[in-house]
Structure 1
């Protein structure tokens, strides 16, 4: 078994994969060890790179884009699938990219999961302002399931203009100074502490708004958790309210079709039973 060690980046994986293709090394003969991934006990030296007169490897641009996107999916053996798909396409088997194929289905499943996690980053990340003359003006803490941060963070540069900000995660971090984005891995301890300990002056106001607009009559726990996964609740201001609001809904708030504070105010009460009778 040939063990290929590299820094865990897609660009370095691409360079190693090209050399393996030129040397006609099949996927089952390769064990990938990128970044923190462990390899087998027995290693063999890498094959000698092909010279300039060797076979030139041509890979469709769209396939490279798909492989790069799928490489952001965190799994123990993320690189093995990518090389298997690349090998098959290079051998003339284009079905490796199709959803109906075993490898193609897994490839597109990973791409879909990565894109969804980027959407989660855009939707559920909360910036907190910092009252400081130096450093970023806003900071945020996020715990992504996949390596989407350096790719998806550009969204905030477009939205927040010249305002500087910092996003820290358990593994990596990005910082925008108003002109350019700076990426680092691993995330500095100072960045993590700054993002996790920053005060949220608007948190109470936001929680009051969320509670007042929560409609217990329309509560569907499955839909709620699908659109706002439970793993994000702990880092959202309204996260601690959601279990309480769901409990109140099950305990009778659904009869009023409105938040408890609104239902307690003076006025004519129109329950759901009356609507169903009509």
Structure 2
């Protein structure tokens, strides 16, 4: 039995899986563990494997993106099942395995990947940056956000923020890992405690004002809203403080909207350009 204790990252799993695969070690002979939990590497029992390993092992391109998502999941079985899937795709000769959704390993890994995709979507939607200062040298504003994802998705989710907020310095703090952008490169540091995140600032009022302005009581569907914005995220969203008040007052606002007289329709401006738009082509 071979013990593989690795850091909980895709890069660590890929490196170890490549090493095991080159040795032809079958999945049932590998015990996977998390090195970040304080486990040391156990002594590996010497073993000989008669399987013939090709010099170059070809991995299907779509497997790598799947593996990156699966490794971000928190299920303890992910590394073992993912290596078994890899082994079957390569040394096992099942090249089309990813096209068989009914296969247990394929189905499980794809389910994990979907969960990661949902978690990344929530992070993109619910991260709220807070202004903490300005760099005296560069003049760039500096922002910090706190977020609590379900899985270890920081490295998968932060390229979105790198592109969208390239003009400011920011840090996203999470319990597992933190991401930092300084305008040139994206770096990562170990996770932090919630107490180390910044408190509310003036931008929170802007978020609440914006949310209040787009809230439409006539189209309110509480269950659908809670499905898209689960209550577990509310504690870190500044606009969440007014959601219950908006919901409780929605009926009165709808009635007020119904009783408000319609505004008169403004006449269409009479100019040559507008008239040309209404003329049918000959």
Distance of 2:145 and 2:240 partners within structure 1: 16
Partner of 2:15: 15
- Equivalent residue for 2:62? 62
Does the 8 Å contact 2:6/2:36 carry over to 1? no
Number of the residue aligned with 1:93? 94
Partner deviation per Cα, 1:170-200 (whole Å, 9 max, x = no partner): 111111111111111x2356xx655x22332
User: Considering only CA atoms, is the larger Rg found in Structure 1 or Structure 2?
Assistant: 2
Q: In 2 relative to 1, CA 49–232 (structure 1 residues): closer, same or farther, beyond 3 Å? A: farther
**Contact 1:162–1:179 (Cα < 8 Å) also in 2:** no
Large movers: runs of 4+ above 6 Å: none
Contact conserved, 1:121 with 1:144, CA < 8 A, in 2? yes
Consecutive unaligned residues of structure 1, counting only runs of 5 or more, are 271-278
In structure 2, what is the equivalent of residue 126 of structure 1?
A: 128
CA RMSD of aligned residues (A): 3.2
1:275 is aligned to none
Q: 1:268 aligns with which of 238, 259, 273?
A: 259
- The answer for the alignment partner of 2:160 in structure 1 is 155
Which residue number corresponds to residue 173 of structure 1?
A: 178
Does residue 220 (structure 1) correspond to residue 221 (structure 2)? The answer is yes
- Work out the CA distance in 2 between the residues paired with 1:54 and 1:101: 24
Equivalent positions of 1:47-86 (< 5 A) are 55-56=54-55, 57-86=57-86
Look up the match of 1:199.
Answer: 200
Conserved? CA contact 2:144–2:198, under 8 Å: no
Q: TM-score, normalised by structure 1?
A: 0.78
Q: Structure 1 pair 136/3, CA: closer, same or farther in 2 (3 Å)? A: farther
* Deviation of 1:65 (Å): 2.3
TM-score of the pair, normalised by structure 2: 0.77
- How many matched pairs? 253
* 1:112 equivalent among 104, 111, 114: 114
Structure 2 spans left out of the alignment, 5+ residues: 262-282
Q: In the superposition, relative to structure 1, how do residues 236 and 31 fare at CA in structure 2: closer, same or farther (>3 Å)?
A: same
2:276 matched to which residue of 1?
Answer: none
Q: Per the alignment, do residues 154 and 38 of structure 1 end up closer, same or farther by CA in structure 2, a change over 3 Å counting?
A: same
- The residue number in structure 1 matching 2:266 is none
Q: Does residue 146 in structure 1 map to residue 137 in structure 2?
A: no
